[in-house]
Amino acid sequence: MELSTIWWLIAGAAIVLELMSGTVYLLLLSGGFAAAAVSAHLGAGFTTQLVVAAVVGVGAVLGWYVIRKRRPPDLPSQSNPNVNLDVGGSVQVDAWNSDGTASVRYRGAQWTAIHRPGVMPATGMHRVTEVVGSRLVVDKI
């Protein structure tokens, strides 16, 4: 069996394992195995094929690591507008209760609104910044 065929089989096995595990790292390593298969097709020796597989695979993993580190961390789901569609909505607060809560109408229902700790409650329009359980955390607009 040709070395290129073996490299293609290894790359395919890595992709199958990737699909079963759900991580991206085996997919990146399979790119290195595929590069080794291409180098085998081009007539490179076995040592060169190993070096190509290592450099491309590990380089892809390190590149992915650097990209992930530079990205800002994901917001928690309760304050992420991409996950929770209530974040960013506006509510009218007419009066605050003595316990720091307010009853507001939002999306056709009564909700309990709370203000952020350390912020003085004020009436008027507020923006929903977070949803904690069934309570809306709001900031003054």
Residue holding tokens 């999306």?
107
Q: Give me the domain span that covers residue 59.
A: 3-70
Residues 14, 56, single domain; the answer is yes
7 and 61 inside one domain: yes
For the stretch 57-91, pLDDT in tens is 999 999 999 999 999 887 777 777 777 788 888 89
Residue given tokens 């912020």 in the structure block: 119
46 lies in the same domain as 95: no
The count of domains in the chain is 2
Q: What is the CATH number of the domain that holds 122?
A: 2.40.50.140
84 plus 128 within the same structural domain: yes
Q: Is residue 129 domain-shared with residue 86, that is, in the same domain? A: yes
| One domain for residues 82 and 133 | yes
Q: Are residues 92 and 57 part of one domain?
A: no
Same domain, 10 and 58: yes
How far CA 20 is from CA of 9, 11, 87, in Å, comes to 17, 14, 34
pTM for the structure as a whole: 0.59
Q: How far apart are the first and last CA of the chain?
A: 70
List, for residues 2-47, the tens digit of each pLDDT value: 999 999 999 999 999 999 998 899 999 999 999 999 999 999 999 9
